[in-house]
Amino acid sequence: MNRRGFITQTALTSLTAILGTEIVFGKFIPTDYQPLGVQEPSPFQLFEKDNQMVVLNDKPWNMEAQAHLLDDAITPNKYMFIRNNGKIPETIDLDTWSLLVDGESVGQPKRYSLAELKSKFKHHTYQLTLECGGNGRSEFDPPAKGNQWTVGAVSCALWTGIRLRDILKDVGIKNDSVYVGYHAADTHLSGDPNKEPISRGVPISKALQDETLIAFKMNGEDIPLAHGYPLRLVAGGWPASASGKWLTGISVRNKVHDGSKMSGTAYRVPCEPLAPGEKVTDDKMCIIESMPVKSLITYPKTGAIFPIEKKLNIRGHAWSGEFAVKRVAYSIDFGSTWHDCNLEDATNRLAWQHFQASISFPKKGYYEVWTRATNSQGIAQPMVLPGWNPKGYLNNACHRIAVKITA
């Protein structure tokens, strides 16, 4: 922290002129950081579509929520991000829909109808955090290819279904089981029926966790079509690409699953740190598993303006893949000092945790509120950007909002 380079007085004067108000803790701005208030579009402008989802792509569909839309403790269906790799199935026939469990580590493949799955196995409900591995990609420099997610490709809905491990126990799996891979009813963008848009999975240890579900309800209702109706694998705390939608098959493998989006650089990061822009060979890339520690301010939205006599009450969520969050702190001086937030326990393992804080400001002017979470392993969010990687995955930098405090 003490070795950080800080912005020059000339640059600070220019930024102050742009914002039209004093940057109160401007002397603490790192030299490589551009304040939110001078970025385009300005957070202090009002937009007609301020309360709508942001569409990043429609071939396939990819959209995210704005941070303030994720204020609910349980993410509503309408604000859950969509990350698709192929075309959504056009026809869903519940009478013929089935789930095939097969693979090298299954003695005898077995097929289940939807009715059989729902009647034969005990139902469980968990609130589970799902986050796209590329959430935050838009901040990386040099830029990384792919959908330019900001912070809204995350959700924590209630999922109801049956435990994957109960199905695996019913089928009977061999001792050499290493991985499970999923297969689904979405179709490849090329239209080639022999190509799977995505077929990823998780190690057998993750598959056997209590919270890993074959789900058929989201927030107490049938899963919306865009989110995997009528059946979805849900593996909370891992990149959402491991939670296959429109589920038709589970393959129990005696090796790491080799389906589509499981090789090369897809959902992988360098096994060792890289310099920004440095190239890396595929064999030096490691599969993303547990997601990193992260926090999100959901109130107020960036660009808020408050009078000096009123305290600013912030709130939001924090999560950390397989681990619990033990501390969330906020800073109003660009990370020079930190103050604890009130942090709630999770509803269940793999659910996000809620935090709140009440902030007083010393005088009027421009401020940024940053939040930083620390998990049970003692790992904290980086202040601005984590290590660079070619696909722009796992950006868990501190979330930041811009506010103006008036007289």
Name all domains of the chain by residue range, CATH numbers in brackets: 9-51+291-406 (2.60.40.650), 77-287 (3.90.420.10)
Supply the pLDDT for residue 48: 56
Supply the pLDDT for residue 322: 98
- Dihedral sign, CA of 76, 78, 81, 86? positive
**Alpha helices, DSSP H only, in 9-113?**
9-19
Distance separating alpha carbons of residues 244 and 85, to the nearest angstrom? 11
With a CB cutoff of 8 Å and minimum separation 6, the contacts of 237 are 128, 129, 290, 291, 319, 321, 322, 350
Supply the pLDDT for residue 15: 87
Count of all residues that appear for the chain in the document: 407
Q: Is 61 exposed, middle or buried (0-12, 13-18, 19+ CB in 10 A)?
A: middle
Give residue 171's region: left, alpha or beta (phi > 0; psi -120 to 50): alpha
Rounded to the nearest 5 degrees, what angle is found at the Cα of 226, between the Cα atoms of 220 and 231? 55
Reading the block at residue 379, the tokens are: 């790992």
CA nearest neighbour of 386 among 83, 181, 141, 44 = 141
Q: Is 222 exposed, middle or buried (0-12, 13-18, 19+ CB in 10 A)?
A: exposed
Q: Give the residue carrying structure tokens 């912030």.
A: 314
Does residue 300 have a cis peptide bond before it, meaning omega lies within 30 degrees of 0?
yes
Reading the block at residue 400, the tokens are: 């930041």
Supply the pLDDT for residue 1: 39
Supply the pLDDT for residue 46: 60
CB burial readout 248-258, b (16+ within 10 A) else e: bbbbbbeeebe
Distance separating alpha carbons of residues 321 and 238, to the nearest angstrom? 6
- Dihedral sign, CA of 258, 261, 266, 267? negative
Q: Which residues of the chain have pLDDT under 70?
A: 1-4, 46-49
Q: What are phi and psi of 12, to 5 degrees?
A: -65, -40
